[in-house]
Amino acid sequence: MMNRGPTGKPRDVITGGHLLAIARRAAVAADRLLTVPRLRFYCIVLLLFALATYVPVIVHGDPPFDAFGHPVAVDLVAHVTAGKMMLNGDLNQLYDVQSQWAAQQVFLGNRYPDIIHFYISPPFVAVLYVPFAVVPYLDAAILWTILTLGLLALSLRLLWPIVPNLHRYGFGSILIILLSSWPVIELLVDGQDSAVSLLLLVAGLRLLLARRDLAAGGVLGLGVFKPQLFLLIPVLLLFRRQWRALAGWFATVVAVTVLSLIMVGPRGSRGYLALITSPSFQQGTEAVGWKMLSLEPLAHALFGGLAVALATPVTLAIDAVLLAAFARTVLKSPAHPRQTTLLFAMTILVGSVVSPYFFVYDGVVLLLPSVLLLDEATTNTTVRLSVVVGYVLTWTTLIRYSAFGHATWPGSLLAAPWTVVPLIALTVVAQRLIRVHDTAGPAQLASVDTGPLGSNSVGKPGNTTLIADEGVAHDTE
């Protein structure tokens, strides 16, 4: 029945279809603002802003401490601690809290007595930090920052040959966008090690594509140093029946496990279990929960107050759906190089959403699925806007937490880790692209509608997109 107003004339009724159409038009309008020159400019401005904000904090500090009294590259403290204890032959006490605290006081000059930074990485990782333990801490922080920048650039360089559709925008432009992202800035400021994870993932993918499965599995097996970022990699290898790769992964995991047990002995193993289950460690993790990008903290934010008890069961239910979709997609996917890249992207995306510990600086590894999907679906609005929305949400993490993190619900929702939403959107796109590969040729992929905002912008004059070429961008500005 037609809905009529007081005058008897038909009255417009807003339906779900109308709202979706409005959302699509808004998405396309926003998408047209995202030209390569504009993005490059925005990212350079943000990068300069970050430098202008943080460099004075270091300059006005008292090395190796910044102006706020924290060690420079603060999370590096824990890793240098492991390197120092290895040099001193104290590996059997590597996970003893008092021993870690004492070691930190020595190289920080007893100027940081009220704080301890727990070293919780596997024992074999301590080997990586021995070179940084033989120099003063400030020098170690500078060297680690340089190494991290080198690892990021190397990761993108290794990834570059398998993303040919992005070559016309230039390696430098993509690198600037990467370096200006908040996960990278947080990575550098905190002195974290997620750049190593990114390099291992990219190298593992390149080896898989080169059919060097045994070596690929070996490289990916090293990801056990930060297992929450490699959560579903062995599942991917198992479901795809890549037995040589799985054998390489298993051999590496066994080797580093045996090495770690030899390094710390029974006492160190017990100390590790005691440390990661201690109330002080759990409280420290909860205190920085706002920095996480995974589903569980978002669920806790959504179900605030009395309904917070629903957060865990809802998280588990959504995790189960995502994992079931992942398993079904992998099992039904044929062995093909293009499928390998998409499945790898989906593996990282789903793993990041369901991971119990996935912090902002760990978001560096999301470069891999983001670039792979942008290369596969160059003109897809959902992919482009999801990447941009994720970029903006991570950049505003600290700002939103500072403004709304201590507000009462529902105001606290503004500080929630909403980055999960674009990650799930990218996961859906990856799954649909994988299905399209089964029935469509590569030429059809760019134009397929792979999401709620999916659109084909090829051949539309004046359509300025996130990855529009320089000529189109110039014509529309």
Q: Is residue 298 part of a domain?
A: yes
CA distances 360 to 38, 188, 290, 391, Å, are 25, 12, 9, 11
For the chain, state the CA radius of gyration: 24
Q: Is residue 318 part of a domain?
A: yes
Q: Is residue 361 part of a domain?
A: yes
The yes-or-no verdict on residue 8 having pLDDT over 70 is: no
Range of the domain at 195: 31-455+464-476
- Give the number of domains in the chain: 1
User: From CA 346, how far away is CA 429, in angstroms rounded?
Assistant: 9
Q: What is the mean pLDDT of residues 216-230?
A: 96
Residue indicated by tokens 């008292």:
62
Q: Is residue 17 part of a domain?
A: no
The model's pTM: 0.88
pLDDT (0 to 100) of residue 113: 86
Q: Is residue 9 part of a domain?
A: no
Banded model confidence at residue 349, pLDDT cuts 50, 70, 90: very high
What is the DSSP code string of 256-269?
A: HHHHHHHHHHHHHH
Over the stretch 181-190, which tens digit does the pLDDT of each residue have? 999 999 999 9
Cis amide prior to 64 (ω within 30 degrees): yes
Q: Is residue 279 part of a domain?
A: yes
**Assigned token pair, 207:** 């080896």
Over the stretch 82-129, which tens digit does the pLDDT of each residue have? 999 999 999 999 999 999 999 999 999 988 888 899 999 999 999 999
Asked if 259 and 268 touch (Cβ cutoff 8 Å), the reply is no
E strand or H helix that includes residue 114: none
Q: Is residue 7 part of a domain?
A: no
Q: Is residue 157 part of a domain?
A: yes
Q: Give the residue among 417, 415, 419 at the shortest CA–CA distance from 403.
A: 415
Helices 182-190, 194-209: inter-axial angle, 10-degree rounding:
120
User: From CA 9, how far away is CA 3, in angstroms rounded?
Assistant: 9
The yes-or-no verdict on residue 447 having pLDDT over 60 is: no
User: From CA 148, how far away is CA 78, in angstroms rounded?
Assistant: 17
